[in-house]
């Protein structure tokens, strides 16, 4: 069990009132709120130890560099990576996935090769592959869903053929909450010699992740969905693969030598970190990792699951509401998308906002998934460490208000 009272007191924004109501922030899957520990860690650098990293031979630059590299170490420990050098700081999960697609995909794929992904991916794990497919002539193929909103790995077995060179799959769907069996997918991928990228944008914030047992070769995620700041993300990769991978961006910081007509790359991870990195943000992410580790990721997962179970139970009592996602909490995270018959998702979100309940409405950057579900938009509530059952109650009450306004009260 986690102490939500203590946790909530670390998040100043949760004190806010919205439209005269107590804020119920149920949109952490889009971006989480930040504890004072993260805000303070970043302010401390700016106030006391700020200078560019890896450059100056003076005290401030040394301190900033130490703090930046310490953040890298924290993330490496958090993921149980083999070494700090396997942690590449990027701008975001999107940038991490693009770095892999360009750095690895552009140089390892050719016409006739296949990229295997799934219909439940976020655009960040589809669109880069569209670009790479266009450049290389490789073909993009998809794993589908079962009727129960699970990834149909069994039904996609025949798609793991010798032509598949990379399998790119989400560790947890930001729409369905579904957590597919990454280990099983990785096993099938390995049988055909394919490299595995896991989009960890939702998985890493919400579940314990050990890259030694996950099965992936690469893992991308964002800091801002796990209590850290915006502008920072991570690409983890197996060292040998990172060493053979080409950089996707050139510039300062990433070189060993530059001559007039060619240059040599620095060693990993710096080879992939061209230019001044978002090091204050990385330090903020380090503080977020400390915060989550103190709670314990097993506890985070369990907390999300309990809230999800409670929410699924309460939402089942709302007339006309259907959930797009697994009906139980097994291998499922705390993102619950739903459709309310007779009211469009935007109208739901506007009415909920008037009641102080913040949810996401729209296509959730997963248009192929929504289209496959026969939807153009849905409403999504999602949970994190600071959420409490009373906020689920506020959600359900606000949905009643929405139904009343739209004249849907059943007699």
Partner 1 sequence: MALEDLYREVILDHYRNPRNRQGLGQANAVADGSNPLCGDEVRVELLIEGGEVTAIGVTGHGCSISQASGSMMGDAVKGRNIETIRILTGRFKGMMSIDGADDPGLDPNRPGAVLGDLEALQGVRKFPVRIKCANLPWTTLEEAIKNFVASH
Ligand X SMILES: Cc1ncc(COP(=O)(O)O)c(C=O)c1O
Catalytic residues: 365
Provide the CB-side half-sphere exposure for 52 (13 A, CA): 8
* 290 contact choice in partner 1, ligand X, none (CB below 5 to 8 Å, kind-dependent): none
CB of 347 to partner 1, least distance (A): 5
Q: Is 182 in the site for partner 1 (CB under 8 A)?
A: no
CB of 352 to partner 1, least distance (A): 11
Omega into 388 within 30° of 0, i.e. cis? no
CB of 130 to partner 1, least distance (A): 16
CB of 181 to ligand X, least distance (A): 17
Asked whether the beta carbons of 119 and 76 are under 8 A apart, the reply is no
Asked whether the beta carbons of 48 and 67 are under 8 A apart, the reply is no
CB of 264 to ligand X, least distance (A): 30
Between 139 and 347, CB nearer to partner 1: 347
CB of 37 to ligand X, least distance (A): 21
Which two tokens mark 118? 């799934």
Q: What is the DSSP letter of 102?
A: I
Binder among 347, 393, 397, 400 for partner 1 (CB under 8 A): 347
Q: Is 346 in the site for partner 1 (CB under 8 A)?
A: yes
Q: Is 289 in the site for partner 1 (CB under 8 A)?
A: no
* 266 contact choice in ligand X, partner 1, none (CB below 5 to 8 Å, kind-dependent): none
Between 31 and 61, CB nearer to ligand X: 31
**Spatial distance between the Cα atoms of 253 and 411, rounded to a whole number of angstroms:** 68
Query: Which span (72-80, 174-182, 314-322, 346-354) binds partner 1, by CB under 8 A?
Result: 346-354
* 406 contact choice in ligand X, partner 1, none (CB below 5 to 8 Å, kind-dependent): partner 1
* 92 contact choice in partner 1, ligand X, none (CB below 5 to 8 Å, kind-dependent): ligand X
Between 29 and 366, CB nearer to partner 1: 366
Between 96 and 120, CB nearer to partner 1: 120
**Spatial distance between the Cα atoms of 49 and 338, rounded to a whole number of angstroms:** 46
117: three-class secondary structure by DSSP: strand
Which residues inside 355-374 make contact with partner 1, applying CB under 8 A? 361-363, 367, 370
Between 31 and 37, CB nearer to partner 1: 31
Q: Is 187 in the site for partner 1 (CB under 8 A)?
A: no
Which two tokens mark 161? 């053929």
C-alpha 43: how far from chain center: 25
Tokens 């506007």 correspond to what residue?
350
| Positions in the binding site for ligand X (CB under 6 A) | 92-94, 122, 124, 170, 174, 199, 201-202, 222, 224, 365
Q: Which of 331, 325, 295, 292 is nearest to 311 (CA)?
A: 325
Asked whether the beta carbons of 235 and 220 are under 8 A apart, the reply is yes
31: three-class secondary structure by DSSP: coil
Which two tokens mark 188? 């099938």
**Spatial distance between the Cα atoms of 39 and 47, rounded to a whole number of angstroms:** 12
Which two tokens mark 320? 């006309």
* 351 contact choice in partner 1, ligand X, none (CB below 5 to 8 Å, kind-dependent): partner 1
**Spatial distance between the Cα atoms of 113 and 138, rounded to a whole number of angstroms:** 5
Q: Which of 357, 297, 286 is nearest to 2 (CA)?
A: 297
Q: Is 345 in the site for partner 1 (CB under 8 A)?
A: yes
CB of 124 to ligand X, least distance (A): 4
**Spatial distance between the Cα atoms of 92 and 89, rounded to a whole number of angstroms:** 8
* 24 contact choice in ligand X, partner 1, none (CB below 5 to 8 Å, kind-dependent): none
> Binding residues for partner 1, per CB under 8 A?
343-347, 350-351, 354, 361-363, 367, 370, 376-377, 401, 405-407
């Amino acid at each position: 069990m986690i102490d939500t009272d203590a946790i909530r007191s670390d998040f100043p924004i949760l004190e806010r009132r919205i439209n005269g109501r107590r804020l119920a922030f149920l949109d952490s899957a889009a971006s989480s709120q930040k504890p004072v520990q993260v805000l303070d860690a970043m302010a401390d650098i700016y106030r006391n130890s700020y200078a560019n990293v890896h450059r100056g031979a003076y005290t401030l630059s040394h301190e900033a560099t130490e703090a930046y590299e310490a953040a890298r170490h924290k993330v490496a420990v958090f993921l149980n990576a083999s070494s700090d050098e396997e942690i590449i700081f990027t701008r975001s999960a999107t940038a991490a996935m693009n770095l892999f697609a360009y750095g690895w995909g552009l140089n390892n794929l050719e016409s006739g090769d296949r990229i295997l992904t799934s219909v439940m991916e976020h655009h960040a794990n589809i669109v880069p592959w569209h670009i790479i497919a266009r450049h290389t002539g490789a073909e993009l193929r998809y794993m589908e869903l079962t009727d129960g909103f699970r990834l149909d790995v069994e039904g996609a077995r025949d798609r793991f053929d010798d032509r598949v060179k990379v399998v790119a799959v989400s560790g947890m769907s930001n729409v369905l909450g579904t957590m597919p069996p990454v280990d099983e997918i990785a096993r099938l991928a390995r049988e055909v010699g394919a490299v595995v990228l896991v989009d960890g944008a939702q998985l890493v914030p919400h579940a314990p992740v050990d890259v030694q047992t996950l099965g992936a070769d690469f893992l991308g995620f964002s800091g801002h969905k796990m209590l850290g700041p915006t502008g920072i993300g991570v690409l983890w990769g197996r060292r040998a693969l990172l060493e053979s991978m080409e950089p996707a961006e050139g510039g300062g910081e990433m070189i060993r030598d530059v001559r007039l007509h060619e240059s040599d790359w620095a060693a990993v991870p710096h080879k992939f970190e061209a230019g001044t990195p978002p090091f204050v943000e990385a330090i903020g992410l380090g503080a977020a990792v400390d915060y989550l580790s103190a709670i314990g990721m097993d506890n985070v997962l369990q907390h999300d699951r309990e809230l999800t179970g409670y929410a699924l139970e309460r939402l089942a009592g709302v007339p006309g509401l259907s959930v797009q996602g697994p009906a139980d909490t097994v291998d499922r995270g705390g993102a619950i998308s739903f459709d309310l018959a007779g009211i469009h998702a935007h109208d739901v979100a506007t009415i909920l906002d008037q009641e102080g309940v913040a949810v996401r409405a729209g296509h959730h950057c997963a248009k192929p998934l929504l289209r496959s579900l026969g939807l153009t938009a849905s409403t999504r509530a999602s949970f994190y460490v600071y959420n409490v059952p009373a906020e689920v109650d506020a959600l359900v009450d606000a949905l009643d208000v929405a139904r009343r306004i739209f004249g849907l009260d059943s007699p």
